[in-house]
A and B are shown apart, each in its own frame.
Chain A
Amino acid sequence: MLITLAVAGSSCKKTYLDELATNPNTPAITTPDLALAGALKSTAANFNGTGFTMYAAWMGYLSWSTGYQPNVQLLSYQFTSSTYDVWTNWYLNISNYTAMANSTTNPYYQAIAKIMISYDYESLVDNYNNVPYTQALQGSTNLTPTYDTGSSIYDNLLTQLDAAIALIQGAPTGTITPTTSDIMYGGNMTNWARFANTLRLRIIMRQYGPTGAINPNVSSKAGMFATELAKLFPSGTPATPLGFISTTAQEGKVNPGYANLDANGGEQQPLDLAYGYNQSGAAIGNNPTYQANTYAVNFYQSNSDPRLTQIYATSTGGAVIATPLGQTTPPAGTPSKLSAFLLNPTKAAFLFTAAESLFLQAEAAKDGLITGTALTLYDAGITASFTDLGLTAAQATTYYSQAAIASPTEQNIITQKWAALNPFAANEAFNEMRRTGIPNVPVSILPGNTQTTQPTRIFYPIVEYNVNAANVAAQGTISETSSKIFWAQ
């Protein structure tokens, strides 16, 4: 008794309590490599996962399963601020890239952080227009960040990407590159620079309309765009143009070692987790509730496009069976899901495909914004898409030789981009549709749906109205049918 009391009463007290200051359950620090692998994997999961399923439905890739009660939020466009949230995951992802940047001074990691943060912010602007940027990610220092305009964020992203490329190009000899933790490029910093450069092109092109003219909302930026476009092929040091992602070897795709295992919340690639099957082959995620959409299936079929069966599973008799969005009666035969090729659990997850990059370049070249031949780039884009879907260049050639497809018109470039993004980059397809109006996907046929046009945007998530009410209120009333992202038509 006396001894224990003495222990308590003496200086041991401090130790007795302080030795519980270390949390045995979660570490308090990270390393750049641990942070990089985790953050890249999350980016891939966000982009390829279930977060953008509504766009896949609205863009004609997928339909709501006829075996389920209609989902009126999706099929009658009656969604609210509680329905869709891509905000949270992107900001948390940015927070992890920031943590990586804070854990090291290595310029390569710093550059990767800037590039990926820009990638995430671009998606935030494309979904929500004005979002917190300059006041974001300050933790308890600023719990209610004000919003920056989408346009000003876009401008700053270009600066950030410039800085990232400068960091890569200016890194001292011997700077350690990430290796296995860089699950996108394995430490190939040239590819990282290409990724950044292509992202710059996308940010600029997003502000041009289908005719190649600058969106009237940002026409004051004409001078800046001229400068920025010139920078895409730097004439100074290094002399070699940086270039864009132009081959499937250079495209941005993430693979931490995806495997067909259910452990740890699922080790399958994100598209498989979102629409596919678990380790034992049972349907998981959105698989039961989504099936092939007639709009996309008809497009591929009418153009004899061999990508059809690489994207969708064939049903009884080898056909792809699809329904239009909003149909409630089942079709004859079992409706098709996504193909085993796309849902291969070990397949890498795309963040930026070569096809998308090449179509961007084709459009920019067509409009004379960059040098290059639009047709060559356009054909290369189709070929890249075929390659990524396990088809041959010869099949691509046959395909793009068809008269209706052959010419790199705006209509064809964006339509082919849409056809190439199915379904893993539905967000990007939705962005391009809002920028160019292409393709003109029909709205849901659900009885009772009164909306005749595609939504123009989703609402800010409910959490903003709950915890950052004044700043979200300053953005005015958001309308899902008329509020537009600043670059949209």
Chain B
Amino acid sequence: MKKLLLVSLCFLVLCLTQVFAQNRTVTGTVTAKDDGLPIPGVTVKIKGTNVGVPTDVNGKFSISAPSSGVLVFSFIGYKSAELPVPSGGVLNVSLEVTSSQLNEVVVTTALGIQKSQRDLGYANTNVTAKELTEAHPTNFTNGLTAKVAGLVVTTTDNGINPTTRFTLRGNRHITGNNFALVVLNGVPISPNDVNTINPDDIESTNVENGAGAAALYGSEASNGVLIITTKKGTSSGAPEISYTNTFQMEKVSYFPALQTRFGSYGGEGGIYQDPVTGFIIAPVPFENQSYGPAYNGALTQLGIPLPDGTLQKYPYSTPAVDPRKAFFNTGHTEQNNISYAFGDAQNFFRLTANRDDRTSIIPGDNYQRTIARLSAGRTYGMFHGEFTASYSQSYTSTYGGNYSEDGNSDLFTSLLNTPSWVPLGNFKNTALPFADVNTYYNSYDANPYWMINNSRNNSRSDAFNGSFTGILTPAKWVDVTYRIADNFGTSQSQFTREEVDFSQYAKNDPTGGYGTNASILNTLLVPGQVNNVTQFGDGTATTGAGPQGFSRLTQDVIVSLHHTFFNDFKTNLRLGNTIWQEYLQQISNSSNNLFIKDFYNIQYISGIPTTAQSSEKIRQISYFGDLTINYKDIASLEGTLRNEHDSRLSAANRSIYYPSVNGSVVLTNALPFLKDNKVLNYLKLRATYSQVGDVNISPYGYVPTSYGTPTGFPYGSLTALSLSTQLNNPNLKPEITKEYEFGFDFGFLNDRINGAVTYYNDQTINQTLPISTDPATGYTTTIVNVGQVSNTGYEFRLDGKILTKSENGVLVDFGGNFAIQNSKVLSLPNGLNSISLSSGTPVVQAIVGQPYPVLVGTDLNRDPSGHVIVDAATGMPSTNPNLVNLGRTTPKYILGLTQNISYKFITLTLVEDFRTGNVIYNASLASATAAGSSANTASAGRLPFVFPNSVINTGTAASPTYVNNTNTTIQDGNIGFWDNGSYFSVNSSYVTSGAYWKLREADLEFDLTQWVKQTKAIKKAYFAINGRNLLMWRPKSNNWTDPEFGNTSGNATGINTTGQLPPTRIFGATLNVTF
């Protein structure tokens, strides 16, 4: 490598002696052959040089060229033209539309290499800036949803700063990272950083689904790649200023189904129970559960009396607006975006600023984000340099926990534990009686407004992202690219919780033995709490998981040698080296013993603080080569090889090779009988094989033993160490994904109908799995490199231009994509049948022979045909002692549709998506069932009922006979069934289908350009009304929440909890003006 560079340096010097011929100025106009209209933006280049100019808005150009030179005119969608410099100096050119635009589209591939789509041997989808930002999402991955076959973007949580999970072709790694690699301007960035990119800065996103397409990234390639290229500047020579304002509102759209018929009672004691009927005859005023008597409208005591005996009474009925729904606000998002750009063929400059202000549906939660990006580029003779840098700063403020013993009870839990007759809105001022910590009605939970007012998570994130690329072209057959990129940031967060001062009255338990918060805590004072975390990394607060959270410094050096042999064989050999380092450092301190009220500084505590520090560093050195051979625009063959050395692997296992090969044949160019076919104008076959990896090993993971400080230590000066419970494995290797894919791209009727079909088959071996071990081994976990997961599937894309605008002013475009994603766990270590990714039940598992991942949990005893078996005497179901596979948690069928209908200046764009084939577990429904607030608990009016579709065993246990149960009712249709017993306790009661249809985006845009143009100052303008997540259709069984939500953005998908708020709808308007 070093030698090679020296050689190229010599060439560089030699080439400086280039001789220039005499120049003359050529002017002219470029028009389109079909309609004769001028084409702006056509590149006019002197052949064999980098010298060129674009045509202006009137299609005119002027260029100084050697008299013996040749000018090349090129523009996307048109056939290039090469014409000699005319002696008269005037050259008018008309360009012909290409037979296939798909042939010509140039996309950015791995390492920033630009390639014609025609030459790619693998599936890819290019998403334009327009498609991405149609509905103005604040996180660009949301803008990709439903637009790429095989890309599944999941908004795991709709909080104030939503996180997304994005995977291509499903989950290949059981515990490893399954996020698609995100490459920004040629350099990988952390998946967390997608939220620090201004969607309006993105020129294009090229989604390459397969491992093969990303193979040059070696151990980061296995999940496919999103290649983002940011906007550069104008090429017309004129400056352009663009301003966009988007204002959107967010409202709860599908509130979980709650019951509003029964009030407060919680099940402790028997004094409120009618001894004959078993019905509850009086509500319990301080109760958080809703298993009480039916509402009757009578004025009823709520909560405990004040110390002076004052009672609060409210009608025992649900108000017109359910107070739990009324709790949520309308959230607002305002985005302001301004950009300034100019440039010409050699130089560009672009500066943008984006401001995003949000308030949440939760009172008090808010978010502000500011992003600025500067991009510039310049060409000096044989040298071309580009620079881009962005800085993002965001502030987030969200509610925190309460003052209960664990401090974890969350807001939605509090709401679900509020009987519907409780007028929550009366308790906003938490200083007032009946709203304060002492006399709030609920004995077991905090006033949700207390959590909002007095417990906050405040965080600030600063992220910098920048890269510099220099390209030296000393001769036409060689160029050398040097790129250095850095992304880093800090994340600072502080959790504060106010001191709680209980009164002696509350501590003395005015409920008469049931307990109050104060009496259960048995204290008059819960001191304030503070938790500070400072992290240097990628600017987010994530730690640990996979590649996330790390800052990254990357350097690439690539030498590209190109030559055409025998006139028809274009070859390109790239040799390169990449070195990167990732680094993360986190320091935290916390105490729950602040001694000054409302003063949150770790220095003012009694006792000592809890502190932690960790730092992790990863380094990697790799060498790669890439040889591409093209034959006459007909066939293309590419082979790549990367050799990688990674610090996370022990020295003996460190050198890993990652090869790939791909090829394509354009049959419409290759086969004479298909050439110039009017119907089938484009047909390309492609195939790829690759073998790439995933280093799923934490830094220092191969050091065999480690010790940590045991809980409690140090006691004064007494220190101690205890053995880590994880048995580290020094022999770990990267997980290897072997993938092959086949496919074809086609275009009919001059590409009016075009599409692609791809089949892929991935085998990921060496799964790195932290398996539980028998504690009798001395350790509770170890890590092994065993296990195989297979992912296969099909991806389809079909786009149709039904009507084009040039014909009658109406444009109708339909786009659709569809993916079938199969996965199967083929083997696991040590003959294990399953691996758990979460704890407790239900548990998300990888099970041999099953799709990955699946949900496993408890279920009722059922007969062979699936009917629930109930007891002949009590009518009650019983619990199956074995855990049951409840279904896969990732969708199998993913459909995305877009419609684009335009008439004159009005354009309507709709995006829908459909997912099915998966199940979800609604832990929040389980929580609401325990609370008696979910609608299902009142489905039988709290009366005895026959368990639907149940059977009774009239035979013996050994030889059962199941007969339909038509009249044996459950004896206690109230708390005894819904909050006790098998139905309540088994997981399957809360599992629903994960299927949905969503109207994901809608945008109605009015192009105002024709009116504003007259002002001369304004070049373009549009106004749009738009929305996201407008409508959702779910199967009847799911009346609870958005199936997309989950409690993790990690691999253990399929479980939503009370941490996820009810689904929301976002709608608003956008105004754009371009000067």
Contacts and interface: CB of A to CB of B under 8 A. Distances in A.
Q: Do A and B come from one complex?
A: yes
Interface of A: 1-2, 4-6, 8-9, 13-14, 16-18, 20-31, 34-39, 41-42, 45, 65-69, 72, 80, 82, 87-88, 91-92, 94-96, 98-99, 131-132, 136-140, 142-145, 180-181, 183, 256-267, 277-284, 287-288, 328-335, 337, 463-464, 466-468
Contacts of A183: 718
Nearest to A12: B621
A263 B268 contact: no
14 contacts: A2-B6, A25-B616, A66-B268, A67-B513, A69-B266, A140-B727, A256-B712, A261-B607, A263-B591, A267-B715, A279-B593, A281-B524, A331-B513, A464-B774
A267 B266 CA distance: 36
Contacts of A467: 771-774, 832
Contacts of A5: 1-2, 5, 557, 577
B777 interface: yes
Contact of A145 (B651, B705, B777): B777
A180 B775 CA distance: 29
B269 A328 contact: yes
Contacts of B613: 25
Nearest to A265: B711
Nearest to A33: B720
Contacts of B782: 139-140, 143
Given A30-B721, A138-B777, A282-B405, A38 B713 contact: yes
B712 A266 contact: yes
Contact of B618 (A20, A264, A463): A20
Contact of A37 (B523, B718, B832): B718
Given A5-B1, A20-B618, A265-B711, A279 B778 contact: no
B267 interface: yes
Interface stretch (B187-195, B412-420, B514-522, B863-871): B514-522
A6 B3 CA distance: 10
Nearest to B9: A2
B526 A92 contact: no
A85 B334 CA distance: 53
A38 B722 contact: yes
B585 to A, nearest CB: 9
A68 B618 CA distance: 49
Contacts, number: 286
Contacts of B1: 5, 9
Given A20-B617, A41-B720, A280-B525, A27 B778 contact: no
B242 interface: no
A468 B771 CA distance: 12
Given A20-B618, A34-B721, A41-B713, A287 B777 contact: no
B520 A264 contact: no
Nearest to A36: B720
B526 A21 contact: no
Interface in B771-799: 771-780, 782
Interface of B: 1-2, 5-6, 266-271, 405, 482, 508-509, 512-515, 519-527, 555, 557, 577, 579, 591-593, 606-610, 613-619, 621, 645-647, 651, 654, 699-700, 703-716, 718-725, 727, 729, 771-780, 782, 830, 832, 834, 836, 841, 881, 979-980
B405 A25 contact: no
B723 A329 contact: no
Contacts of A144: 774, 830
Contact of A87 (B721, B772, B775): B775
Contact of A28 (B2, B482, B707): B707
A31 B714 CA distance: 15
B481 to A, nearest CB: 10
A88 B616 CA distance: 29
B721 A35 contact: yes
A126 B832 CA distance: 29
Contacts of B729: 140
Nearest to A287: B522
Q: Please list the 6 inter-chain residue pairs (A to B) with the smallest Cβ-Cβ separation, ordered nearest first.
A: A330-B513, A38-B720, A95-B778, A257-B715, A23-B700, A67-B515
B831 to A, nearest CB: 9
A331 B651 CA distance: 67
Contacts of B771: 467
Nearest to A2: B5
A127 B525 CA distance: 40
A445 B6 CA distance: 89
A69 B557 contact: no
A20 B699 contact: yes
A67 B514 contact: yes
B722 A69 contact: no
Contacts of A329: 268-271
B720 A262 contact: no
A136 B778 contact: yes
A13 B645 contact: yes
A463 B591 contact: no
B2 A17 contact: no
Contacts of A65: 515
Contacts of A16: 619, 621
A99 B715 contact: no
Given A30-B723, A132-B776, A467-B772, A288 B405 contact: yes
Contacts of A91: 775-778
Contacts of B5: 1-2, 5
